Structure 1
Amino acid sequence: MTLNLPDVAAVADAATISPLALFLQADIVVKGVMLGLLLASIWTWAIIIGFSVTLRRASKHSKSFEQDFWKAEDIDRFYEARGKADQPAAKVMAAGVTEWRRSTAQKVIDRDGTRDRLATTMSSTIAAEIDRLSDRLNILATVGSVAPFVGLFGTVWGIMRAFTAIAAEQNSSLAVVAPGIAEALFATAIGLFAAIPAVIAYNRFSHGINRMESRLTRFADGFYSTLSRELEAQR
């Protein structure tokens, strides 16, 4: 089958504006911008997938742990069985139990001091667990805020090349300026491709982290009340 001249031109134009062709035709600066944004996008998706699994697992395990805890009749026995698990709720409980045992081991129990230490210890544990869970959220925030501007830098550089080509060729036809403009717009597109998922994921994960913090705080408050009542029973 033989293509007529308009068809051949269309195929050539399509090949020229393909993503691979735009990357290969770009100069070293725009190539660096594109590669950096592509790496940022890959890194972003790796964090999104890993963080989704981690947050879902932590939420599921904490919910199960809390349900079993409130059903337990003996806190000490439950602590010995599950208090050393590597999950946020278990660590909050372990911090409370450890402080309780230290504070009530004295001959004379300082009730007010024990309550203050229990509250402080469990609050600090919650903060540490939230910090651990949200460790890489700052990367998503950085990519989401910086990537569009990096793409914009590639856009500006590509447009500068287009104007340079016009001056060199003494010709302002579309054939002269199109490659530089296409490269510029492609750099912008890659920047948005990296930034948009990062912003969406950051907002979604921040909401999930806040919910986890609220869950742990409610659990700590309930456990604190239980220990406080037990403290009142101490003679």
Structure 2
Amino acid sequence: MSLKITITSKHTLHLINRYTHIEVYFTGPTQHCPLVRKLLTTAIDNSSDAMHLKHNYVNAFACPYNESCYCIVNEDDCTVCGKPTDISNDYSIWFNDAQGPVESNNGTQKQVNDQSPAENPLLDKIPETDDLMKLFIDSAVHYMIIGIGLSVNVTDLTPLPHLTILNLIQVFQRWSDSNNDVTWAKILKVCQNFPNQLGKVEADINKFLLSPEARDKYLKCDK
């Protein structure tokens, strides 16, 4: 069984279920390979959580010496032939984690993220769409990342530049309708999972959640 996702007329993402493993073929720009890998592993993590399974998958690539085995990333030798698992240029960009997280968080991120819902009751509150859009509007191009992180379907959304904001609205609406952990804590977790794309949004959310405006708005029913 396979799934082919057409991103543009030239760029596709092809997933093939080999039963023992999933093969991934991505024809888009190579600089996006680590992002696609992150999207896939996040989707697997979310599915594993939903089925109460362990996160025990591994990243691997086809062995250049033997068609019957695979080189597991971060292990010394190949699974069958025992050859060194040096990542060639063909695969290095896919497994490259050289890009570090965004560093513009001025201490606010840690202040909110280290708090529990008991310490910061806003974390358990349901985000309202107008606040989400104000915070995410400049990152609307990443609506697919956001949707996958929130475990909502994004495969039917049309990937055209002029529709990104509408697609982002759809993502948040589907998340709200799902009743699946619709909280500020969840949306913060999504931002943490994709720091290179959503690091600035995370910092903005943290700043907002510490503001009197947010406390007045989301705690008004508790007064």
> Do the two structures share a fold, i.e. TM-score over 0.5?
no
Which structure would you say has the larger Rg?
A: 1
Higher helix share: 1
TM-score (norm 2): 0.22
Relative contact order: is structure 1 or structure 2 higher (C-alpha 8 Å, sep ≥ 6)? Answer: 1
TM-score (norm 1): 0.21
